[in-house]
């Protein structure tokens, strides 16, 4: 989920490339680079800001009119000059920029190295430049087509070669790419904002299509070499709308990105037949001989920790605890070299989480980080890292990073079970593969309904309650935090069975209650708790999974999520609750992406 730009046209390429990259800065990045053909390939890179890249041209700008550029947000390999794009082949004639993940890059790299190719970075991308070099026989487009036939994964690619000074090759598979149409010039970009200063007319590439872009024309082919007519769009968004891909806020965009984010999280880790591939990330000695697991986190990530603890407890005999980092740091805990501490943090920079793992490490624990940010402090200090691969999350309230954390924890629980017991629940992994499509169908089916409910009921409430039992409790806790964070409505999550021990006194006519019912073995108990609520005229919005049950006596509104493995239900129920918080906040007129008194990354105690 980095940023791509490409240019071929009448003017020197550097300025339009830098201009395009600047428009993608909002997405977040750790390094940037461009390559220009003039007539040799010139590559400029920096581990830093676009301004640092621009500074490389103070002494003069190359005159080439063909080039590609990239802002990198690290996924494979630390943020560094070497890992920044573009990446070249051995002869330094071909340059490639890439968004997405090449799942089979390790195999390809081994093959290419055995054939004599020399790699200079740790990235998955570099295999593409060497593959294009390998297949090049005078036609760059054909070489790219042959190279992509070897790739498994998602990608948007832009490729140039010094042998073709008027040709930009672009291709996409599950990662967006648009071609802006100008007067004798074309600008290629992964995101619409990079086009807007040039043109409002663009061609959208479809999956598997390869575009051969020259100053004079664009020719698009499909996988079989058949020429295609590209789909033309007219862009009506203003620059601010374009950054959010037309969504009103980054939070809403990120909620909608979850199907794609989870596909990325699963990529390369779970094969189509449900086979797990985690040995590279989680070496066997990390798990060998462990007796205790401490899952440590703050905020939303702590709710993911609760989820992970539930899964590990359910599937192993380990002693498992979810711990709030700010508490863990200062309490007496039993931790030693048989403890695996799993730190979960979107940013990898949260001060309390770092403090807690330093304490665990000092006592001999092994540290596994689950984070979204490659090269973050947490990733650097941990013994092993599992990246969530959710892409940059810009809204302060965490949405896609949270579900990606749940996804990692699901994979991890199966992997730990396999390591300790020699087997895991294949059904859980099989169902995990279905989650992205199920998320997409929930978003499509429930948004309008949830918007109405949140705008009318939650936005007007002063107190709300979120109820669940078992794994649904962890989800309820995340649901109530979202509402507090951005809608500033008081919310409290409770184990449904605890209501009768006091809180029931607060249930009055019309008090909104969001209840979760996805755990079959607890469903009857939950429904009887809800009857107590209904007896006091509380107003229940139920998110349930079993479509066969009659909820008429227990809920005012029922939203069904598609059936999945009960352990995976939190990945689905999160979505309507995120939308509830979002629409309650917008109904109250709040700045959703920047809520009051809350920072994206809390680097103080």
| 353: contact with ligand G6P by CB under 6 A | yes
Near ligand G6P in 479-538, by CB under 6 A? none
| Cα(71)–Cα(253) distance, integer angstroms | 20
Residues in binding contact with ligand G6P, number by CB under 6 A: 16
Residue 49: exposure state from Cβ atoms within 10 A (0-12, 13-18, ≥19):
middle
| Cα(126)–Cα(146) distance, integer angstroms | 16
Span of 13-21, 82-90, 252-260, 339-347 interacting with ligand G6P by CB under 6 A: 339-347
Q: Which is nearer to ligand G6P, 31 or 346 (CB)?
A: 346
> Least distance in Å: CB of 390 to ligand G6P?
11
> Least distance in Å: CB of 425 to ligand G6P?
27
Which of 99, 190, 300, 417 touches ligand G6P by CB under 6 A? 300
| 95: contact with ligand G6P by CB under 6 A | no
| 298: contact with ligand G6P by CB under 6 A | yes
Near ligand G6P in 219-238, by CB under 6 A? none
> Least distance in Å: CB of 354 to ligand G6P?
9
Near ligand G6P in 373-402, by CB under 6 A? 396-398
| 578: contact with ligand G6P by CB under 6 A | no
Residue indicated by tokens 């918080």: 581
Torsion of CA 322, 339, 388, 17, to 10 degrees: 120
Q: Which is nearer to ligand G6P, 140 or 397 (CB)?
A: 397
| 544: contact with ligand G6P by CB under 6 A | no
Q: Is 600 a catalytic residue?
A: yes
CB atoms within 10 A of CB 539: 21
| Cα(215)–Cα(205) distance, integer angstroms | 18
Q: Which is nearer to ligand G6P, 65 or 405 (CB)?
A: 405
Residue indicated by tokens 């570099």: 126
> Least distance in Å: CB of 260 to ligand G6P?
20
Q: Which is nearer to ligand G6P, 390 or 544 (CB)?
A: 390
| 51: contact with ligand G6P by CB under 6 A | no
Q: Which is nearer to ligand G6P, 164 or 303 (CB)?
A: 303
> Least distance in Å: CB of 81 to ligand G6P?
26
| 403: contact with ligand G6P by CB under 6 A | no
Q: Is 315 helix (H, G, I), strand (E, B) or coil?
A: helix
| 175: contact with ligand G6P by CB under 6 A | no
Question: Residue-wise over 387-402: b if at least 16 C-beta within 10 A, else e?
Answer: bbbbbbbbbbbbbbbb
- Active-site entry in 2, 88, 407, 446: 2
| 598: contact with ligand G6P by CB under 6 A | yes
Q: Which is nearer to ligand G6P, 89 or 349 (CB)?
A: 349
> Least distance in Å: CB of 297 to ligand G6P?
6
Span of 254-262, 283-291, 417-425, 596-604 interacting with ligand G6P by CB under 6 A: 596-604
Q: Is 217 helix (H, G, I), strand (E, B) or coil?
A: coil
Provide the β-strand partners of residue 510. Answer: none
Q: Please check whether residue 322 is in contact with residue 309, taking contact to mean a CB–CB distance below 8 angstroms.
A: yes
| 351: contact with ligand G6P by CB under 6 A | no
Q: Which is nearer to ligand G6P, 22 or 303 (CB)?
A: 303
Q: How far is CA 247 from the centre of its chain?
A: 17
Q: Please check whether residue 171 is in contact with residue 223, taking contact to mean a CB–CB distance below 8 angstroms.
A: no
Long-range contacts from 543-551, C-beta under 8 angstroms, 24+ separation: 543/514, 543/515, 543/516, 543/517, 543/518, 543/573, 543/576, 543/577, 544/516, 544/517, 544/518, 545/517, 545/518, 545/569, 545/572, 546/517, 546/520, 549/523, 551/517, 551/527
Phi, psi of 54 (to 5 degrees): -60, -35
What percentage of the chain's residues is helix, strand, coil (to nearest 5)?
40, 25, 40
Task: Give the nearest residue (CB) to ligand G6P.
Answer: 299
| Cα(475)–Cα(514) distance, integer angstroms | 11
Q: How far is CA 563 from the centre of its chain?
A: 23
| 475: contact with ligand G6P by CB under 6 A | no
Residue indicated by tokens 């669940």: 468
| 602: contact with ligand G6P by CB under 6 A | yes
Residue 294: exposure state from Cβ atoms within 10 A (0-12, 13-18, ≥19):
buried
Q: Which is nearer to ligand G6P, 399 or 573 (CB)?
A: 399
Span of 48-56, 341-349, 440-448, 461-469 interacting with ligand G6P by CB under 6 A: 341-349
Span of 80-88, 334-342, 346-354, 532-540 interacting with ligand G6P by CB under 6 A: 346-354
Binding mask 411-430 for ligand G6P (x = CB under 6 A): --------------------
Q: Is 110 a catalytic residue?
A: no
Q: Please check whether residue 61 is in contact with residue 12, taking contact to mean a CB–CB distance below 8 angstroms.
A: yes
Residue indicated by tokens 């989650």: 435
Q: Which is nearer to ligand G6P, 162 or 398 (CB)?
A: 398
| 347: contact with ligand G6P by CB under 6 A | yes
Which of 345, 377, 529, 564 touches ligand G6P by CB under 6 A? 345
Residues lying near ligand G6P in the complex (CB under 6 A) are found at 298-301, 345-347, 350, 353, 396-398, 598, 600-602
The residues assigned a catalytic role are: 2, 600
């Amino acid at each position: 989920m980095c940023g791509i730009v490409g240019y071929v046209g009448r003017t020197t390429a550097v300025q339009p490339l830098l201009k395009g990259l600047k428009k993608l800065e909002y997405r977040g990045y750790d390094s940037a680079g461009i390559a220009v053909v003039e007539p040799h390939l010139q590559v400029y890179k920096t581990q830093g800001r676009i301004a640092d890249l621009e500074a490389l041209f103070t002494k003069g700008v190359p005159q080439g009119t063909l080039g590609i550029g990239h802002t990198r947000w690290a996924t494979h390999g630390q943020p560094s000059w070497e890992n920044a794009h573009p990446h070249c082949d051995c002869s330094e004639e071909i340059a490639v920029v890439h968004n997405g993940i090449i799942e089979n890059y390790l195999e390809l790299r081994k093959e290419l190295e055995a054939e004599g190719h020399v790699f200079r970075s740790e990235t998955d991308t570099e295999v593409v430049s060497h593959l294009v070099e390998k297949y090049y026989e005078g036609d760059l487009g054909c070489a790219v087509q042959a190279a992509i036939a070897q790739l498994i994964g998602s990608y948007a690619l832009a490729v140039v070669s010094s042998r073709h000074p008027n040709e930009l090759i672009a291709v996409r598979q599950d990662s967006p790419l648009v071609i802006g149409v100008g007067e004798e010039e074309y600008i290629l970009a992964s995101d619409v904002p990079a086009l807007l200063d040039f043109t409002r007319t663009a061609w959208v590439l479809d999956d598997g299509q390869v575009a051969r872009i020259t100053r004079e024309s664009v020719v698009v082919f499909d996988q079989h070499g058949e020429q295609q007519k590209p789909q033309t769009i007219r862009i009506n968004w203003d620059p601010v709308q374009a950054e959010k891909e037309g969504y009103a806020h980054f939070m809403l965009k990120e909620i909608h990105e979850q199907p794609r984010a989870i596909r990325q999280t699963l990529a390369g880790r779970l094969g189509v037949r449900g086979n797990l591939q985690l040995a590279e990330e989680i070496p066997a000695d990390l798990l060998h001989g462990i007796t205790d697991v401490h899952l440590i986190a703050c905020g939303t990530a702590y709710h993911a920790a609760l989820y992970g603890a539930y899964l590990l407890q359910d599937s192993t005999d380990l002693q498992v605890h979810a711990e709030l980092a700010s508490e863990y740091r200062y309490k007496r805990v039993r931790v030693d070299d048989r403890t695996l501490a799993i730190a979960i943090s979107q940013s990898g920079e949260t001060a309390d989480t770092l403090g807690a793992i330093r304490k665990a490490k000092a006592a001999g624990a092994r540290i596994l980080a689950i984070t979204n940010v490659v090269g973050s402090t947490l990733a650097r200090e941990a013994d092993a890292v599992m990246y969530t691969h959710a892409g940059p999350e810009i809204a302060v309230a965490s949405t896609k990073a949270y579900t990606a954390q749940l996804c990692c924890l699901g994979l991890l629980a199966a992997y730990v079970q396999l390591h300790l017991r020699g087997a895991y629940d294949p059904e859980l992994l099989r169902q995990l593969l279905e989650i992205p499509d199920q998320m997409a169908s929930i978003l499509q089916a429930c948004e309008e309904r949830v918007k109405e409910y949140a705008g009318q009921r939650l936005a007007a409430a002063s107190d709300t309650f979120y109820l669940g039992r078992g794994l649904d409790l962890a989800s309820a806790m995340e649901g109530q935090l979202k509402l507090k964070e951005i809608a500033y409505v008081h919310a409290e999550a409770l184990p449904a069975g605890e209501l009768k021990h006091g809180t029931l006194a607060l249930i009055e006519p019309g008090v909104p209650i969001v209840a979760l019912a996805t755990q079959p073995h607890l469903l009857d108990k939950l429904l009887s708790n809800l009857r107590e609520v209904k007896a006091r005229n509380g107003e229940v919005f139920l998110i349930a999974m079993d479509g066969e049950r009659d909820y008429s006596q227990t809920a005012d509104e029922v939203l069904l999520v598609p059936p999945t493995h009960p352990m995976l239900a939190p990945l689905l129920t999160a979505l309507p609750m995120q939308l509830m918080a979002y629409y309650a906040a917008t109904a109250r007129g709040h700045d959703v992406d920047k809520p009051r008194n809350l920072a994206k990354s809390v680097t103080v105690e």
